[in-house]
Chain A
């Protein structure tokens, strides 16, 4: 039986997030005290590097290495930024941590400031998270009060303070360079890396950007030792990952599992299987620009590298489960709609390419797709990934490319047979009256909003497909099950 291990979520639901005493009672601020009094920045960074902690915001960049790079850049001022933009629809692990355990993030940011040489921290948080903001403010006031934040922390002479900045509400503002520009009051759009924020970030100063969950892991690692942390997970992905389970799964919500847990364990053991005992069809990981995994991936251990190899990604940890009622072409279109909406428009492949992908998928779901369109999807998808400026465009075609790879027959059915097996693509559906079953009660005809049904009383009725808008009213009304969907 697969187990959950709570590291990032260790205090969530356990402590009163508005009482710093509760946090301290569970070893809170112990790591900070040790670090400030006993360890050099280099030593802390070394521990983090050995722990194998990688960024939980999506990219999976080794956290210790990032801290080290930021440390090594010479500058009169440096910044620590906590990325709490959490724009993935359906994801709420960062919110949960900030609401349930705000001090863990504050403590980690302060440790980061000590290691990198920054005296200022900024939390960039979605304005839609008022409770998290409140809890953060309370926590910051408490830790300042107790000398754990602000001037001369714990009497060691180390100064570090934190401010809150509110997100601009765009998904792409979670991308670190866009986030920084947004904080600078500029248009929230990414810039080419390098220079990485660690070298040139907020106000052109070295800026260490980490995700909420990444930070939340840090104090525990320092308390329990890197050996402990590194013993959890796979070869190249250590520790745990929080996933937000959603979709056609019985237990929706947050789970925290060791890296390397299989999809099967997450969905069927922890997640309680598919709703209504239906058959599992696919799981989308990595948020709107992740890929769709299938049955053949059920036993793949989930970690950064395996997910990328499977055409998807870890992203922030969204995990949406689909069953046989989901049309994979429509799913791909749904996600593309999101990226078209959220593209910042700076680079041409993402600005125009995703729009075209979406249009072509629309054409296919409406039954007007051709084989040429399939080729176009593949080429466009590949080129958009290959040429886009930031991570959004570099991953946005994943839903299309992965469904093309794993559910090619469904595309073929849409294109060649003009059929949607999941009966999702309305344009491909036909409402038909089975003459044998129809007794000519006229109920359907009277309920059709567009008068598409004709027929004499007591005679079999007929639906004019040209007129039918596929509302389904007739089928609902028919008492004799004479109407079917083809």
Chain B
């Protein structure tokens, strides 16, 4: 690699060619502010439209200022990142952006994590001299996401996420000039677009233009209602990220504190979605083995690979884009939706609580779950199996608003029976985890032998598409893993074209899996945070006494007492679902 020497603010930097000035400056301790630029390192995700222009620097010999995020180093370059010309330009550009932005920080959902707000802080903006007309748009509320694009700064990160990474194409720049904004085609409502509610646009939006629909008010009301028994379930990825909202280092596991906080908030039962994840493995794993054995026996009606179905963002994606293949994914519901009926129909009935008087709340790293729990097929006489789904961020706000000093909380334990879980279910929160958990169980059920080495390291990692072959005692099982919907699309197209050699594929809509979910604390483009969350989950798994779903004693009890057997009749009724063709609703540009 050719090295290039240049001078930045008088300091000599030596970096490989094709490095941006932005990155070169970092090597000599200079942090040039950016707004539109966004990168998730090692995950192939980059947004570099060069649109905001706050990163401009002076390059000696160049007529105008250069965007540091988009200008490559050259030998002998002389760069100034904070002389008067640059400082004035940067400030003026920011003042311009602010002049077309509603000053609503006091009530904005993004306040405190807003990159525009902190940029104004950093540059010390105290007034906005360039007042004038502001661009106004219609506010758009969908089942999971609110678009308040008066606050959009046209950074295009959401567009990049939705189009390039997720290949959903629900968002793109529309209109021209002052009224240009990112929106669904024809500025229709997001709900009418092919949006999957994966929430990745929300997770990268630097401002409050894209936020989740906040259901915490409903939860507070339910908690205050003495006639209601309020049950909460928490997804695996939440415990690996919630601490960040309270200043703890990324990757800190806060399972115990989280349980304690939920109890203080007044939930009657604090349960674990992990329990339902173990249940998912029982159902999905059984389905996999069933299809596999029939397939090996030459049954022509059986299709392989089987695809996981625990991610509702992914479910939305194939319902919109590959409806003709909707018989391939497992019919098992997501853990959130398995938990609902078990809570209401099994646990509730056991305690003699009518389902109308039970409120099930889920804490999720996910925005697609907000939509999922509103689906009609997950309701009984209009009563949803899961009433409200809150994001990790909403839970953090709820805790703060309830005067709970999170960091000083002593660790607490989940309630039983729906709070007991295995290590297998914990890793559901990261890409590769579901299939690893499934392998642990499927191996033993198929081979009838004890699995000694439970860690399938070959299934772990962050590469976009991974594949591994697992030895089921002489039978090689080909496993594919994709995270991010663009990667999923590739695997799906291979299946459609008959080029897939996989037996089973795990798909998670969000890059990194649920640890990188749309409802998680904002990572602001730091992929290390996502990696630390993953390793926290693997740590929790390694520390668990039971690490295979089928060994969860309460799962065993559930089947004995209530469900009968995996994929049995009651399971089918309560724990499995069917998929719809939603392609008609998809807008296709001519």
Asked if chains A and B come from one complex, the reply is yes
Q: List 13 A-B contacts (CB under 8 A).
A: A187-B173, A345-B154, A346-B154, A348-B93, A348-B96, A356-B132, A376-B129, A380-B130, A385-B64, A386-B65, A388-B53, A389-B50, A389-B51
Asked if A355 and B178 sit within 8 Å, CB to CB, the answer is yes
Contacting residues of chain B (333-350) with chain A, CB-CB under 8 angstroms? none
Q: Does A309 contact B (CB under 8 A)?
A: no
B89 and A383: CB pair below 8 A?
yes
A387 with B133: CB separation less than 8 A: no
Q: Mark B399-431, 1 if CB is under 8 A from A, else 0.
A: 000000000000000000000000000000000
Candidate in B48, B100, B176, B179 with the most chain A CB atoms within 10 angstroms: B176
A352 within 8 A of B: yes
Interface residue ranges, A against B (CB under 8 Å): 170, 187, 189, 191-192, 194, 340-349, 351-353, 355-356, 359, 376, 379-380, 383, 385-389, 394
CB proximity of B460 to chain A, nearest CB, Å: 34
- In the complex, chain A residues whose CB is within 8 Å of the CB of B132: 355-356, 359
- Could you say which of A191, A194, A351, A388 contacts B178, with CB atoms under 8 Å apart? A351
Q: Are B88 and A187 in contact, with the CB atoms below 8 A?
A: no
Q: Which residues of B contact A343 (CB under 8 A)?
A: 176-178
Given contact pairs A348-B53, A379-B88, A387 touches B93 in the complex (Cβ within 8 A): yes
- Taking a contact as CB atoms closer than 8 A, the residue among B49, B51, B130, B178 that contacts A340 in the complex is B178
Known: A359-B132, A376-B130, A394-B64. A345 touches B50 (CB 8 A): no
Could you say which of B129, B177, B180 has the most chain A C-beta atoms within 10 Å of its C-beta?
Answer: B177
Residue ranges of B at the interface with A (Cβ–Cβ < 8 Å): 48-54, 56, 64-65, 67, 70, 72, 85, 88-89, 92-93, 96-97, 99-100, 129-130, 132-133, 153-154, 172-173, 175-180
Looking at the assembled complex, report how far the CB atom of B54 sits from the nearest CB atom of chain A, in whole angstroms.
8
- Cα–Cα distance between A346 and B70 once the two chains are bound (Å): 15
Q: How far is the CA of A194 from the CA of B153 in the complex (A)?
A: 24
Shortest beta-carbon distance, A315 to chain B, in Å?
Answer: 16
Residue of B with least CB distance to A171: B176
A342 and B177 within 8 A (CB):
yes
Bound Cα distance A347, B65 (Å)? 14
- Asked if B51 contacts A346 (CB within 8 A), the reply is yes
B-side contacts of A388, CB under 8 Å: 53, 64
Known: A345-B178, A347-B53, A359-B132. A352 touches B65 (CB 8 A): no
Q: Report the Cα distance A352→B132, complex, angstroms.
A: 10
Q: B82 → chain A, closest Cβ, in Å? A: 15
**CB atoms of B56 and A345 under 8 A apart:** no
Residues of A within 8 A of B85 (CB): 386
User: Quick one: which of B49, B53, B154 has the most chain A CB within 10 A?
Assistant: B53
Q: Which residues of A contact B179 (CB under 8 A)?
A: 345
Inter-chain contact B96/A352, CB cutoff 8 Å: yes
When C-beta atoms are compared, the residue in chain B nearest to A353 turns out to be B96
**B48 (CB) vs chain A CBs: closest residue:** A192
Q: In the bound complex, what is the Cα–Cα distance between A87 and B401 (angstroms)?
A: 57
8 Å CB contact of A170 from B100, B173, B176: B176
Contacting residue for A348 out of B64, B88, B154, B175, CB 8 A: B154
Complex CA–CA separation, A359 to B130 (angstroms): 10
3 pairs of A and B residues whose beta carbons are closest in the complex:
A345-B180, A343-B177, A192-B50
Asked whether, in the complex, the Cβ of A386 is within 8 Å of the Cβ of B56, the reply is yes
Q: Is the CB of A356 within 8 A of B130?
A: yes
| B51, B129, B175: the one within 8 Å of A347 (CB) | B51
A372 to B297, CA, bound (A): 84
A347 to B53 CA separation, bound complex (whole angstroms): 7
Q: Does the CB pair A351–B154 fall under 8 Å?
A: yes
| Contact pick for A387, options B65, B99, B153, B175, CB 8 Å | B65
Q: B96: which A residues are within 8 A, CB to CB?
A: 348-349, 352-353, 356, 380
Chain A contacts for B56, CB-based, 8 A: 386-387
Residues from chain A with a CB closer than 8 A to the CB of B70 are 192
Q: A194-B72, A347-B51 are in contact. Are A383 and B176 (CB under 8 A)?
A: no
Residue numbers in A under 8 Å from B129 (CB-CB): 376
Report yes or no: B50 in contact with A191, Cβ–Cβ below 8 A: yes
In Å, the complex CA distance between A387 and B54 comes to: 9
Cβ A351 vs Cβ B53 within 8 A: no
B89 touches A387 (CB 8 A): yes
Q: Report chain A residues within 8 Å CB of B53.
A: 347-349, 387-389
Contacts of B130 in A (CB 8 A): 352-353, 356, 376, 380
Residues of B within 8 A of A341 (CB): 177
What's the nearest-Cβ distance from chain A to residue B229, in Å?
Answer: 52
Closest to B179 in A: A345
B51, A348: Cβ atoms closer than 8 Å? yes
How close is A126's CB to chain B, nearest CB, in angstroms?
17
- On whether the beta carbons of B180 and A346 are closer than 8 Å, the reply is yes
Q: Check if B93 sits within 8 Å of A349, measured CB to CB.
A: yes
Contact flag A345-B175 (CB < 8 Å), given A192-B50, A355-B132? yes
User: Which residues in B have their C-beta under 8 angstroms from that of A345?
Assistant: 154, 173, 175-180
B141 to chain A, nearest CB (A): 25
Establish whether residues B64 and A386, one from each chain, have CB atoms under 8 Å apart when the complex forms: yes
Q: State whether A189 and B177 are in contact (beta carbons under 8 Å apart), knowing that A352-B99, A376-B130, A380-B130 are contacts in the complex.
A: no
Closest to A352 in B: B96
Contacts of B180 in A (CB 8 A): 344-346, 351
Complex: A220 Cα to B131 Cα, angstroms? 54
The complex places the Cα of A477 from the Cα of B536 at a distance, in Å, of 87
**Contact partner, B99, options A191, A356, A383, A389, Cβ 8 Å:** A356
With the chains together, A65 CA to B71 CA distance in Å? 22
Nearest CB on A from B182, distance (A): 10
* Given A187-B173, A345-B173, A348-B96, 5 extra CB contacts under 8 A: A170-B176, A191-B49, A349-B92, A353-B130, A356-B132
